[in-house]
Amino acid sequence: MSFGPPAMGYDRAITIFSPEGKLYQVEYAFEAVRKGWSTIGIRTNTASVIVAEKRLLTPLMDIDNIEKILIVDEHVGVSFAGFGFDGRVLVDYARLAAIRHRMLYGEPIDVEYLTKLVGDLEQLYTQHGGVRPFGVALIVAGLDDKGPRLFMTEPSGQYFSYYAVGIGIGGQGINDYLSKHYKADLSSDEAIKLGIEALMKVSEEKIDAHRVEVGYIDVDTRKFRKLGKDEIKKYLEELGEEKK
């Protein structure tokens, strides 16, 4: 009698554990994240920053119309790596949770609590038959009463707080670069430059203002904003990636 590979049978339903204690459908969702567009989050003493890559998949694609960084509330921004359609659903869920909290309590939602709500939804899709896990990981950057915050959710529903983190294609290389150059006392400008530099180290294409998005929030403005193309171009010129 012949036998199939070890995963055979255990990956046919999300609710079946393998003998090694794994949920293979969740493992496959992690693989979707690893193949997503590179996304970076950096938290310093004064700011939280997101840097995200956009890739030109076909010559006729309008990448200027693609949003990789999305504003959830005025104090929170989110990006993702993995399936964009899954990311859109989770971001919409986070936006609804944030506005409901404002209407009910009259104050902005705590960044970690918002992240936990998203993680709870992701976890819910790992324990019921007839559904699949979300094939996406979210980076959540914001600022609340505890200062700048940075979290990353996983397809399993787990989430962690980070000083700096990179996900998607080249994620390991990004994390290696960040671990060598990260400092907690970086200014928002320095953190943005660090994120762009890390992206440049792993990108398979030349980075320009059309292929990168940057968003940040700092303790002075206390509002999450996305940089315009002219602002991004200025950073790239300072880093020597793009000439006037």
pLDDT(233) > 60: yes
Q: What is residue 85's predicted lDDT score, i.e. its pLDDT?
A: 93
Q: Which residues of 197-218 are buried (b: 16+ CB within 10 A; e: fewer)?
A: bbbbebbeeebebebbbbbbbb
The domains of the chain, with CATH numbers, are 24-229 (3.60.20.10)
Q: What is the mean pLDDT of residues 115-142?
A: 94
Q: What are phi and psi of 40, to 5 degrees?
A: -130, 140
Largest CA distance in the chain: 69
Q: What is the mean pLDDT of the chain?
A: 92
Lowest mean pLDDT among 3-7, 148-152, 191-195: 3-7
Q: What is residue 20's predicted lDDT score, i.e. its pLDDT?
A: 83
Question: Do the beta carbons of residue 133 and residue 125 sit within 8 Å?
Answer: yes
Q: What is the pLDDT of residues 50-85, one digit of tens each?
A: 999 998 888 888 988 999 999 999 999 999 999 999
The pLDDT confidence band at residue 7, using thresholds 50, 70 and 90, is low
pLDDT(125) > 50: yes
The distance of Cα 22 from the centroid of its chain, to the nearest Å, equals: 24
Q: Which residues of 67-81 are buried (b: 16+ CB within 10 A; e: fewer)?
A: ebbbbbbbbbbbbbb
Q: What is the pLDDT of residues 74-120, one digit of tens each?
A: 999 999 999 999 999 999 999 999 999 999 999 999 999 999 999 99
The distance of Cα 120 from the centroid of its chain, to the nearest Å, equals: 17
Lowest mean pLDDT among 11-15, 91-95, 113-117, 143-147: 11-15
pLDDT(29) > 50: yes
- Check: pTM over 0.85? Answer yes or no: yes
Q: What is residue 241's predicted lDDT score, i.e. its pLDDT?
A: 56
